A = this chain, B = another copy of it.
Amino acid sequence: MNKSAFYALSYGVYVCTSWDEGRPVGCIANSAMQITSSPATIAVSLNHDNYTNACVRATGRFAIAVLGEHADPKLIGKFGFSSSKDTDKFEGTPYAVRGKMPVIDGCVSWFSCKVVDTMETGTHTVFLGEVLDCDVLLSDTPMTYAYYHKVLKGKTAANAPTYQEEKGSGKYVCRICKYEYDGKVPFEELPDDWTCPICGAPKSQFEKK
């Protein structure tokens, strides 16, 4: 089995959100897809370790916001590499309640969904959501996972379905979000106040891989 085969599957980059007793929570999801068109339903896969999973289960509601190529990469660092359990990811993140759900500003489109079925696996839950409301917010090319990897040089959280172990590259990699520095200026020559473009971690959080 050659696991590189999995890199050829195409995904978008989404922020999946829910409520935790009135507090907005969310995480990055790549595995989301429309299942039926009438009624419109979307399936999203969330790791059991994602705090958002428990909140979607408890409330029976989730929203999906589609990130565009011009979205702030720090959103991915914030929503993809920390937990809503101990972090208020919405602190400093502009959002609005749309379709009764928290939806981050600046997304291409959003969907407000009611869970109508679930499928359990050893590590992830697939939530099937009926779309109660949806809209387009912004004219931007939806970000694909390939774009995130190739253009933004982004990496994959260990609890993502799409995670595969990556080999040493000799490059400087962020310990927090796994962003791989690939700029023209040698890493050693970057200013001391330089921070990770994905998660905002300081230069000291980078290590050579």
Contacts and interface: CB of A to CB of B under 8 A. Distances in A.
Interface of A: 1-12, 30-43, 45, 66, 68, 108-111, 117, 119, 121-124, 126, 128, 131-136, 141-146, 160-164
Contacts of A117: 119, 121
13 contacts: A2-B135, A3-B134, A5-B109, A6-B34, A8-B108, A9-B12, A30-B33, A31-B43, A34-B162, A35-B45, A35-B126, A36-B122, A38-B123
Nearest to A118: B119
Nearest to A116: B121
Contact of A37 (B35, B43, B146, B162): B162
Interface centre among A37, A135, A141 (most CB of B within 10 A): A37
Contact of A33 (B11, B110, B123): B11
A46 to B, nearest CB: 10
A43 B127 CA distance: 12
Contact of A10 (B36, B42, B144, B160): B144
A142 B9 contact: yes
B43 A43 contact: yes
